Amino acid sequence: MPEYPCLIFDHDDTVVASTSAIHWPCFVEYLNRYYPGKTITLEDYFIKNFTPGFIEMCREDYGMSDKDLEVEVKFWQDYVQNHVPEAYKGIREIMEAQRARGGKIAVISHSFDYNIRRDYAANGLPVPDIIFGWEQPNERRKPNPWPLLEVLKALSLRPEEALMIDDLKPGYDMAKAVGVPFAAAGWANDIPEIEHFMRANSDFYFKTVKELADFLGEG
């Protein structure tokens, strides 16, 4: 068995390069249509998703109601259906090595389960053993500990037997609450505010996928 019997991956900007290519342009289009005159830079989009989080950003910065958020999610779903992100080079090899050693692969993400499965298939990645995505009610999405606790329960694992790999603070907050070791994925952006926090607070920080592979013994 590997050192970590389960690797738990975030999806966007951890496994696939999706924010700059898909999610940010989608949100800018949404703002152009429903909030003319308002926009957001890619850097600010990354920072706001880092903290306070996407939903909080929508409410605080754009005054979105629950109904407005439903419209935004539907706009996002329609956009994502026609845009498939590419996996980061080296991710597939990490996952294949994990599976070959008998380890498990889980996903806890703010993307929908069906989009995650599509992206994995399109990029030739192993099918995850368990996925918790945006289809969960808000109170069961990260940073709430619920999906991480469910992964541990479903796979009969102790917290120290899993490694959470995520690029943003909600994943860190969730892992910290449960006591699961946290590895920061630093390869999606070069924003000092995010990198400083992740380097200072994460159990492990990896600027490249190769650094993660080396840590896991796959380099």
The 10s digit of each residue's pLDDT in 126-181 is 999 999 999 999 999 999 999 999 999 999 999 999 999 999 999 999 999 999 99
- Section 87-115 average pLDDT: 96
Cα 10 to Cα 180: distance, rounded to the nearest angstrom: 14
Helices (DSSP H) in the chain: which residue ranges?
Answer: 24-34, 42-50, 54-62, 66-81, 91-100, 113-122, 146-154, 169-178, 192-201, 209-215
Q: What local confidence, expressed as pLDDT, does residue 1 receive?
A: 47
Largest CA distance in the chain: 54
Percent of the chain with pLDDT over 90: 95
The torsion angles phi and psi of 3, rounded to 5 degrees, stand at -55, -40
The 10s digit of each residue's pLDDT in 103-118 is 999 999 999 999 999 9
Q: What local confidence, expressed as pLDDT, does residue 11 receive?
A: 98
Terminal Cα distance for the chain, rounded: 18
pLDDT range class, residue 219, cuts 50, 70, 90: low
The 10s digit of each residue's pLDDT in 60-84 is 999 999 999 999 999 999 999 889 9
pLDDT range class, residue 218, cuts 50, 70, 90: confident
